[in-house]
Structure 1
Amino acid sequence: MSSIVSASSPAERLKSAGAWFKRLITSSPSRFAIIIFALLILVFTVLLSLPIASANRTVTPLADALFTAVSTICVTGLSTVDMATHWSPFGHVVVFVGVNIGALGVLTLASLMGMLISKRLGLRAKLMAAGDTNPLRAHGGPVNESQTVRLGEVGQLLTTVALSTLIIEGVLAVLLYPALVAAGVDAVTALWEAPYFAAMAFTNTGFAPNAGGVAVFADDYLVLTLLMAGVFLGSVGFPVIYSLVKHVWHVKRWSLHTKLTLVTTILLFVLGAAVFLILEYNNPRTFGSMDAADTTFQAFFLSAMTRSGGFSVIDIADLNGSSQLVATMLMFVGGGSASTAGGIKVTTLAVLAIAVWSEAKGRQAVEVFGRRIPSDVQRVALSVVAWGATIVALSTIVISQITKADLSHVLFDVVSAFATVGLSSGLTAELPDSGAYVLAATIFMGRVGTVTLAAAVAATSRSQLYSLPVERPIVG
């Protein structure tokens, strides 16, 4: 009888719950990461629903509070309300804290939570953390220890994540403060807006605390350049920052991941600006009324923001249809792996492009920078694109059916949501509640990552000890 009482005592139940929670962490890291993000969204939805969070001290409707919470934790920047006027100072602080938590990344955040619970970073947690820099680790697939970050360096990576966020945002805030004051912002107001803009730039969120957003700084190259610098640092990813800090002047010692990320990011940045310059130079609603210097600068700013930054000087709806399509393509690619940016990631695009080029050349292996990219990495890249395209297509169909809006605008906002960019054609603010829920789900799936989502659904990977006969279907 005493044993039965003991087994059902609060201490035993607590111990049993703790054991179950620990098994969840170690058995399915990716699923644990998704649960953590979902719980954070729930908490911030409650906080943003409080009357104290709104400027008029009323309860924010559930659809708006939930959408803002998802957009905040997933560092997206889309909103169904006017961020500058709807929220009170308390609400802005909640958003500020939320984007910094979300910026840590799905798997990195889960790893930190696992460390707090287990009091140590075991092999499973290391694999989970490394999964944010190498998607194969979240799969349970074969791991090449030369890729990006070794297991023994994961602890250092986690430290780099926290320190780089604090240092970069701090430096950006210090640089932005005098720039904002010089731009006409009140000195006291700038004490709040400088760290807010710094956080929104580095986390690639794009929220603005002031009425008019960054459009009020359209002619201030210093403010816009600092915002672009913050977006770039946030979008290249923590593994790249870690590699650059460790081997800043030794390019030969950079990892393949670092090289692919930087080369592809810079290439897309320059090509995107060039295309926007060509397509918009005679558009009177955007660049047509500007001189050559302004047009060139704004083209580069737009190219940077479509990569995941989310700030906008011009009205996206004023862009030509061709420019909106180019922006949609850039948003879908996004930034670097394990970064505050979203999208399918630049390394995914790079791997697929190199694979296509190798196939066109008739090469047996996919090689770049003196390294061979294994076939399993190519399969993961293809899976990421397939999952992303599927999510975007389904969401676009559903929201188009709900709103009956122009397809180009729906597609633009859906891709912006999936890639956690934050730019909008104006559709998001007009969505009915049902459309807002669908777009919020798109943001969530885009942020947690298509590979992580697939790994969570699969739960475990099983080894196959035999192979089937080979037969080649006709493709192409």
Structure 2
Amino acid sequence: MAAVRFPRFRHPAQLVMAGFAAVITVGTALLMLPASKAGPGSASFLESLFTATSATCLTGLVVVDTPVYWSSFGHIVILGLIQLGGFGILTFATVLIVLLSRRIGLRTRLNAAVETKAIGLGDMRSIVLGVIRASLLIEGLVAAVLVERFATRYEMPWPQALWHGVFHSVSAFNNAGFALHSDSLMRFVTDPVVSLPIVFASIVGGLGFPVLYELRRRFTKPNGWSMHTKIVVWASGVFLLGGAAFVTAVEWSNPATLGPLNVPGKLLAGFFQGTMPRSAGFNTVDIAEMNTATWLGMDILMFIGGASAGTAGGIKVTTFAVLFFVIYAEVRGESAVNIFNRRLHGDVQRQALTVVLLSVAAVTTATVAFMVSTTFTLDQSLFEVISAFCTVGLSTGITADLPDPHQFLLVILMFIGRLGPVTVASALALRSRRRMYELPEERPIIG
């Protein structure tokens, strides 16, 4: 009897892509079961595939009404896919950092270990278990707050409050954006006890385990943080506060969004909605009724996304920050790019540029496809494409109305957007090619 051969993966990124594809396949099959659908019959293949991909890739876009269309079993399947997707991204990205650290010289590794006290190069098993423990701890804390609020303020039966609290906590920490209400979280627009824990969970999940690990150990000593942690903390703070201020200012008088609220309500709703484009995907106001200027600003925020090695999507704030400092150094005429008193390696600059240009190409191509074959406007098409590719989950309300080929295109975008930048970056960072000669140098005219 011939031995069974399993596929060999030459690169860690291939393994994680195969794993995510397998989870999506199993999730699609489970959602196609009659037990997963609330009504008679069973879900179609595309509805199941779209929902399974959106949950596993931590996106939140839906083509059916999640709380109405799916049964309790279906909701459990969706929650399981979200949790598996979150564990997969956090674990792979964290282990990838350890693998990258093995490729640098011993002296550099020792200096970095002494200076940052960050994740070491030891047991992979302890790293993976650390990711799982941290995830469950944060999800548990947020769930406890939500459960108590749902039961006491909104008079939910305790079993229902427990289920809603756990589901929304897991969805928030993993930046998935799935909710058990047809209006997402619009009914809680002025309730800080619901809104703020959701925001907290999405921000913490988007920071990434390496940053959380370092902050836990050296929170009071920011001068000793690694370059990565400094970039993530400062850039995340700028985009979170800047996004909240932008959304609040532009929507302040909009009668369909923030206009009817009092001042505290406007500030809370603006802060909540301004933080969601980093990849969380919930909404407490109607996205479809927002000003087009707000959509454009949210397009930018969604495209940048959250931090590397976290559950957030986008090109990542670290990628954006690297390119910002490259431009800053070039404008100042400096020969090297320096960030927080450290020189940036040239390979990182090329990797950041590659990720950004490939992402721009994907978004542009898909948007053009939407424009030439649907009746939706450029604003709506661009918003939908960026939301899918950057795994955000916010929508102007057109997802369910898209033709089947365009929904399938969003499935591809969600898969590529969740794993594409990670696999491209890791492939570039882990490869090793040494040229034994150098070609003659020449400079083309730029600009």
TM-score, normalising length from structure 2?
A: 0.92
Which of 66, 69, 85 is equivalent to 1:86? 69
**1:434 alignment partner in structure 2:** 405
Between the aligned partners of 2:238 and 2:311, the Cα distance in structure 1 is 19
Give the secondary-structure state (helix, strand or coil) at the position aligned to 1:448: helix
SS in structure 2 of the partner of residue 151 of structure 1: coil
Q: 1:448 to 1:79 in 2, by over 3 A?
A: same
Q: Pairwise mapping of residues 95-134 of structure 1 onto structure 2 (< 5 A)?
A: 95-106=78-89, 108-109=91-92, 130-131=95-96, 133=97
Corresponding residue to 1:70 among 41, 44, 53 = 53
Could you tell me how far apart the structure 2 residues matched to 1:228 and 1:73 are? 20
Q: CA deviation at 1:222?
A: 1.0
Indicate the residue corresponding to 1:54 in structure 2. 37
The alignment of Structure 1 onto Structure 2 pairs a total of residues equal to 439
Residue aligning to 1:36? 19
1:417: which partner in 2?
Answer: 388
Task: Give the letter for the 1:50 counterpart.
Answer: L
Determine helix, strand or coil for the equivalent of 2:85. helix
Q: How does 1:394-413 map to 2 (within 5 A)?
A: 394-413=365-384
Match of 1:449, SS? helix
Change (3 A) 1:210 1:327: same
Which residue does 2:248 correspond to in 1?
A: 277
Pair 43,253 (structure 1): closer, same or farther in 2 beyond 3 Å: same
1:215 corresponds in structure 2 to 186
Corresponding residue of 2:133: 163
User: 2:59·2:392 contact (CA, 8 Å) conserved in 1?
Assistant: yes
- Pairing 1:323-402 to 2, within 5 Å after superposition: 323-402=294-373
In structure 2, C-alpha distance between the alignment counterparts of 1:257 and 1:153, rounded to whole Å = 22
Once the two structures are superposed, residues 284-321 of structure 1 have per-residue CA deviations (whole angstroms, 9 ceiling, x without a partner) of: 11122222222222111111111111110111111111
Post-superposition offset of 1:247? 2.1
Deviation at 1:142, TM superposition (A): 9.0
Query: Alignment partner of 2:343: what SS?
Result: strand
- Structure 1 counterpart of 2:194, which letter? V
Looking at structure 2, the residues matched to 39 and 340 of structure 1 have their Cα atoms a distance apart, in angstroms, of 19
- Counterpart of 1:64 in structure 2: which amino acid? E
AA matched with 1:47:
L
CA deviations on 1:62-105 (whole Å, 9 max, x unpaired) are 11110001001101000111011010000000001110000023
**Counterpart-to-counterpart distance in 2, 1:455 and 1:401:** 34
Residues 212/278 of structure 1: CA separation in 2 closer, same or farther (3 Å cut)? closer
| Unaligned residue ranges in structure 1 (runs of 5+) | 1-8, 110-127
Moved more, 140-149 or 292-301: 140-149
1:309 is matched by which residue type in structure 2? Answer: A
Cα-to-partner distance string for 1:109-143 (whole Å, 9 max, x where unaligned): 5xxxxxxxxxxxxxxxxxx8542x489679x8999
State the Cα distance separating 1:460 from its structure 2 match. Answer: 5.9
Contact 1:445 1:453 in 2 (8 A): no
Label 1:86 to 1:269 Cα distance change in 2 as closer, same or farther (>3 A). Answer: same
SS at match of 2:43: coil
Q: Following the alignment from structure 1 to structure 2, what is the Cα–Cα distance between the partners of residues 246 and 99?
A: 28
Distance in 1 separating the partners of 2:328 and 2:71:
53
Contact 2:98–2:121 (Cα < 8 Å) also in 1 = no
Q: What is the deviation of 1:469?
A: 0.7
Q: Distance in 2 between matches of 1:233 and 1:421?
A: 16
Judged with a 3 Å threshold, the aligned counterparts in structure 2 of structure 1 residues 278 and 80 are, in CA distance, closer, same or farther, namely: same
Moved more, 335-344 or 180-189: 180-189
Q: What secondary structure, in the 3-state scheme, does the structure 2 residue paired with 1:42 have? A: helix
Corresponding position of 1:294: 265
* Change in 2 beyond 3 A, CA 1:46/1:313: same
Q: Retained in 2: the 8 A contact 1:75–1:420?
A: yes
**Identity in percent:** 37
For residues 305 and 403 of structure 2, the distance between their equivalents in structure 1, rounded to whole angstroms, comes to: 27
Q: Distance in 1 between matches of 2:348 and 2:286?
A: 39
* 8 A Cα contact 1:383 1:451, kept in partner: no
Determine if contact 1:351/1:378 at 8 Å carries over to the other structure: yes
Q: 1:79 to 1:393 in 2, by over 3 A?
A: same
TM-score by length of 1: 0.87
What is residue 142 of structure 2 aligned with on the other side?
A: 172
Contact 1:204-1:310 at 8 Å conserved across structures: yes
Contact 1:31 1:456 in 2 (8 A): no
Residue type of the partner of 2:36? A
Q: Distance in 2 between matches of 1:62 and 1:236?
A: 34
For the residue of structure 2 that corresponds to 1:466, the secondary structure is: coil
Pairing partner for 2:166 from 195, 202, 221: 195
Q: Distance in 1 between matches of 2:325 and 2:23?
A: 38
Q: Confirm or deny: 8 A CA contact 2:149 2:194 kept in the other structure.
A: yes
Cα RMSD over matched residues?
2.4
Q: Aligned partners of 2:324, 2:428: CA distance in 1, in Å? A: 28
Partners of 1:203 and 1:44 lie apart in 2 by 17
Q: For 2:259, give the aligned amino acid.
A: G
Tell me how far 1:466 sits from its aligned partner.
1.3
1:399 Cα deviation from its structure 2 partner: 2.4
Does the 8 Å CA contact 1:306/1:330 hold for their aligned counterparts? yes
Contiguous gaps of at least 5 residues in structure 2: none
Task: Describe the superposition over 1:393-447 as per-residue Cα deviations: whole angstroms up to 9, x where unpaired.
Answer: 1111222233231111010011011111110011112111111110010000010
